[in-house]
């Protein structure tokens, strides 16, 4: 009778329990009491691919021990929480934040891991030069021409897998002051206006926060005053000119860009001018990653 009960549980109940009860707890119990591989069970309710008990346990154990991608990155890289927001930034000249996305081998880098588990990334190289807005408006939500392009033509050109890995998020698009010495105030100003979408650009504060030399480069003014050294401690510099998402508070037709020397500029710069474009986007908190984040072994995004 005892053996028949055991066989009955293995054949009919494990699939149900694995699918309905706390998966990680059950996998340990199942591995302890039903270790053999000689009887199949009905897995129609479990959602697992395996039809023998031990394989199902192994499959479930893999799910239980796989960390969310954001948590994995924070732990692997030893990232510290940002003092201004609930985010974790990669900083320094060349951190291990390379990532393969849209089949572009090590073609992107991780800006930050958000506390909701999403991962913000930006392309290493420019996709070309474009106007921020051809009509001269710096109101991103209008939408401006670059907004339309990034969330239309560019987004539609990504492969199907890449598109499925992106999530729409609220982006900080508030205007900021030039030559600001208070990063906290600048971030507050950026967060003062939001836009929800899938593809945009990095902000000025994100550029500043990616610099590991906080004492000499930790604000707008410090970065521009000490650009000769600051350019060497900020991985976002790609030796090219590129637009940021941030606009100038005192103008309706100016947006900030990073020049060749790593200086944040708006002088003699209108949104109708052509600058480099480096798309940025958020990966879903549900993606998984392989790799270590180095340029030779970048993170690879898996759905």
What does the domain layout of the chain look like in residue ranges? 2-65, 69-290
pTM value is: 0.80
pLDDT value at residue 19: 46
The residue whose two tokens read 């600001």 is 180
How many whole angstroms separate alpha carbon 123 and alpha carbon 218?
Answer: 23
The residue whose two tokens read 């031990």 is 54
Return the structure tokens found at 103.
């089949």
Q: What is the pLDDT along the chain (303 residues), one digit of tens a residue?
A: 555 545 544 555 445 444 434 444 444 444 444 454 555 545 554 455 555 655 655 555 444 546 789 998 999 899 999 999 999 999 999 999 999 999 999 999 999 999 999 999 999 999 999 999 999 999 999 999 999 999 999 999 999 999 999 999 999 999 999 888 999 999 999 999 999 999 999 999 999 999 999 999 999 999 999 999 999 999 999 999 999 999 999 899 999 999 999 999 987 669 999 999 999 999 999 999 999 999 999 999 987
Kindly state the helix (H) or strand (E) to which residue 224 belongs, with its residue range. Answer: helix 220-225
């Amino acid at each position: 009778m005892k053996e028949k009960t055991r066989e009955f549980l293995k054949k009919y109940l494990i699939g149900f329990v694995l699918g309905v009860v706390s998966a990680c707890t059950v996998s340990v119990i199942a591995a302890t009491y039903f270790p053999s591989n000689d009887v199949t069970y009905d897995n129609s309710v479990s959602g697992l691919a395996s039809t023998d008990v031990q394989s199902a346990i192994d499959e479930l154990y893999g799910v239980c021990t796989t960390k969310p991608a954001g948590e994995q990155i924070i732990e692997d890289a030893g990232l510290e929480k940002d003092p201004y927001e609930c985010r974790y930034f990669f900083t320094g000249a060349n951190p291990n934040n390379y990532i393969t996305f849209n089949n572009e081998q090590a073609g992107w880098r991780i800006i930050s891991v958000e506390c909701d588990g999403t991962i913000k990334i930006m392309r290493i190289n420019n996709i070309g030069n474009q106007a921020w807005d051809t009509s001269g408006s710096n109101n991103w939500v209008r939408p401006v021409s670059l907004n339309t392009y990034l969330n239309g033509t560019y987004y539609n050109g990504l492969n199907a897998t890449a598109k499925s890995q992106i999530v729409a998020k609220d982006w900080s698009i508030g205007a900021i002051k030039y030559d600001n010495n208070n990063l906290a105030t600048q971030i507050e100003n950026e967060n003062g206006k939001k836009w929800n979408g899938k593809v945009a650009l990095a902000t000025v504060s994100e550029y500043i926060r990616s610099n590991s030399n906080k004492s000499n480069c930790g604000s707008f003014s410090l970065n521009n005053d000490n650009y000769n050294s600051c350019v060497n401690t900020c991985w976002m510099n790609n030796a090219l000119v590129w637009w940021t998402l941030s606009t100038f508070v005192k103008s309706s037709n100016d947006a900030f860009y990073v020049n060749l020397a790593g200086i944040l500029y708006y002088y003699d710069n209108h949104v109708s001018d052509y600058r480099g474009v480096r798309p940025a986007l958020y990966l879903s908190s549900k993606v998984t990653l392989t790799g270590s984040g180095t340029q030779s072994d970048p993170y690879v995004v898996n759905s």
